[in-house]
């Protein structure tokens, strides 16, 4: 029996490592490709952390701008710091296409309707309380232009996001599982994607 437990633990750890080192990048590449970015958009990454998704967005932009916002808390992600994100951007050759801001997802420091696309990866679930998470979704929609697109990837509270987007009148709200490449140890720790379009265009 101990051998079976050890094998299961090793399999879980292997899935977690693959999701962290490769899977999330593979999955997000597909998500961003599905958005069909032209390259001139202004894209906001909520809870950008060290920049995994933000830099992938920047690579797809020409005259556009990838904007990241975070509270830079290491409790949410190890090594989470604005300086680390800037270093990563320089290493990837996209530093001139990004800008970083310190801000709370429940009170974004941006104007209404200022972004063409809003994305978020494994960040909103870190906000405590369903009402506060709903406020973060409200803020994401507020800063989107009419017709702008939203893509949230998360491991929990996805049903909350879906319901709130519907309450806000968002169009084409869809939820789908992202498969084994973003299993954080097994299917019980899978990841889902919520997409929507802001009404009004």
Q: What's the pLDDT tens digit per position in 156-196? A: 999 999 999 999 999 999 999 998 777 666 677 789 999 99
Residue predicted with more confidence, 18 or 25: 25
Other beta carbons within 10 angstroms of residue 35's beta carbon come to 17
Q: Of 3-12, 46-55, 76-85, 175-184, where does the model show the most confidence?
A: 46-55
Q: Above 80 in pLDDT, residue 9? A: no
In angstroms, the CA 106 to CA 135 distance is 5
In angstroms, the CA 133 to CA 123 distance is 10
Beta bridge partners of 98: 66
> What is residue 12's predicted lDDT score, i.e. its pLDDT?
59
Query: Residue 82's closest CA among 74, 72, 97, 90?
Result: 72
Tell me the average pLDDT across 95-122: 97
Burial of 92 (0-12, 13-18, 19+ CB in 10 A): middle
In angstroms, the CA 54 to CA 123 distance is 13
Query: Residue 151's closest CA among 107, 115, 180, 188?
Result: 115
Q: Above 80 in pLDDT, residue 63? A: yes
Burial of 66 (0-12, 13-18, 19+ CB in 10 A): buried
Q: How confident is the model at residue 59 (pLDDT cuts 50, 70, 90)?
A: very high
Q: Token pair 């530093």 is at which residue?
A: 95
Give residue 67's Cα distance to chain centre: 12
Summary count for the chain: helices (H), strands (E): 6, 7
Tell me the average pLDDT across 65-74: 94
CATH code: domain 2-197 is 3.40.50.150
Alpha helices, DSSP H only, in the chain? 2-18, 24-35, 52-59, 82-91, 130-142, 158-167
For the chain, the distance separating the N- and C-terminal CA atoms, rounded to the nearest angstrom, is: 60
Q: Above 80 in pLDDT, residue 50? A: yes
């Amino acid at each position: 029996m101990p051998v079976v437990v050890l094998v299961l633990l090793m399999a879980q750890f292997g899935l977690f490592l693959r999701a962290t080192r490769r899977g999330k990048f593979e999955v997000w590449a597909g998500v961003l490709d599905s958005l069909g970015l032209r390259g001139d958009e202004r894209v906001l990454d909520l809870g950008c952390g060290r920049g995994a998704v933000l830099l992938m967005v920047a690579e797809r932009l020409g005259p556009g701008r990838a904007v990241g916002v975070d509270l830079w808390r290491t409790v949410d992600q190890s090594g989470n710091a604005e300086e680390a994100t800037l270093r990563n951007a320089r290493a990837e050759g996209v530093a001139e296409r990004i800008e970083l801001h310190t801000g709370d997802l429940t009170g974004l420091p941006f104007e209404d309707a200022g972004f063409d696309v809003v994305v978020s990866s494994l960040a909103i679930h870190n906000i405590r309380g369903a009402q506060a998470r709903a406020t973060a979704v409200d803020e994401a929609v507020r800063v989107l232009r009419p017709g702008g697109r939203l893509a949230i990837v998360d491991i929990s509270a996805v049903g909350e996001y879906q319901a709130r987007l519907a309450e806000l009148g968002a169009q084409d709200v869809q939820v789908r599982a992202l498969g084994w490449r973003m299993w954080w140890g097994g299917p019980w720790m899978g990841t889902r994607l919520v997409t929507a379009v802001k009404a009004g265009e």
